[in-house]
Amino acid sequence: MSQTNQQWGGRFTESTDAFVQEFTASVQFDQRMYRQDIAGSIAHATMLAEVGVLSAADRDAIVAGLEAIRGEIERGEFTWSVALEDVHMNIEARLTERIGLAGKRLHTGRSRNDQVATDIRLYMRDAIDAVLAELRRLQGGLVELAEREAATIMPGFTHLQVAQPVTFGHHLLAWFEQLKRDSGRFSDCRARLNVSPLGAAALAGTTYPIDRHRSAELLGFSAPSENSLDSVSDRDFAIEFCAAGALLMTHLSRFSEELVLWSSAQFGFVDIPDRFCTGSSIMPQKKNPDVPELVRGKVGRVNGHLIGLLTLMKGQPLAYNKDNQEDKEPLFDTVDTVLGSLRAFADMVPALRARPERMRAAAQQGFATATDLADYLVRKGVPFRDAHEIVGKAVRLGVDTGRDLSAMSLEELRGFSAAIEADVFDCLTLEGSVAARNHFGGTAPHQVLTACARARAWLGLS
């Protein structure tokens, strides 16, 4: 019987079942790696010619043919075939169709196992570079906004209860620090994945006199991978990327939650521009923060992809198994989700508009300067535990009378401790509270601007 796939069908006596053919094919999703597949094949052919396995004429025909195929794909002229299973066989079949026998020589000394392992590393390297670029753009937007709002006072929260006054700029730079750690994780992932599996072949290497260091160099890898068995079966880098992606999405989800709260009528701390929101089909007054809500929701799919990949790999013996075809869809979706979420935030964050009057009014509630009063008493010689009790009693009076500490008279405050003097009101103002925290990492406006300068330097911005 005729074979479904002539590139591997010699051993088979019947055609692949039509459903199985569709079920086992990956070209529907792995065709996005066509650039990486062509680059890997050009490097492989170049190396084979340098070591004398291919003639210069065959190499030139292969390179020209592959470059022409890349043009066909980018112009939308390439026909993808499920019968040819994957991106690799589709491109190789078209190459042979274009240039004849030389196309059939391209696969010398190579297997689809090391080919796909190479392609996916090249693809992930490009993806990480794109993620890092969007991360930097978002961080730059955060710094820009933090500089504008370095002295804007808002309540800081613990347990979502008013705790102490902070500046909006300081809060934004907390987001920056989370993203800075994310950037480090993606950079580390990139460094670890940047080794070339090309030449590991199916699992044991090849009998041809290949130069793996040369093909690694041609593809911009730092080195060839050390062990052929590990080379074709390793997917740690995919799991690591999804882990870094899941943590980044968790950070973006936390940012999103704050933006959803802050943009609500109950808080009113920020205004999200209309272009990042939608309305209601029935309630004309609604302005829904859809971008942060959707980003907050997308973390679930990335977390799921991470668990899926961990489960995919947990029971696999060495070396390559068909299970590994299942790595690409969750990995690709993680790339798309992370990049899309970052792009949305990088566009939105610099456009946020703070509402200082609402932030200030909220900071004046909840006795945000109570700790400042306790610290004041300590500086007057009162032991901290006693100071804590004294301030607690003063807060009780404030709760009962509906007044902030700063609204009480000196006589009322002295009724709780004779150590309190007229200068107490300097520490009970919101400005005094944030200004007093004038140390490295503190919320004082001067420290916020200094931190912004450090952030700009880290980003390489002027």
* DSSP sequence for 125-166: HHHHHHHHHHHHHHHHHHHHHHHHTTT-EEEEEETTEEEEEE
Q: Which two tokens stand for residue 432?
A: 């005094």
Q: How far apart are CA 394 and CA 374, in angstroms?
A: 11
Q: Which two tokens stand for residue 43?
A: 């490097």
Contact 326, 316 (CB under 8 A): no
Within 86-244, strands assigned E span 153-158, 161-167, 195-196, 223-224
Q: How far apart are CA 168 and CA 184, in angstroms?
A: 25
Residues tagged active-site: 159, 280
What type of residue sits at position 125? Answer: R
Q: How far apart are CA 16 and CA 61, in angstroms?
A: 32
CA nearest neighbour of 35 among 202, 239, 197, 219: 219
Sign of CA dihedral 119, 125, 131, 137: negative
Q: Which residues contact 410 (CB under 8 A, 6 or more apart)?
A: 420, 421, 422, 424, 425
Q: How far apart are CA 345 and CA 351, in angstroms?
A: 10
Sign of CA dihedral 355, 356, 359, 364: negative
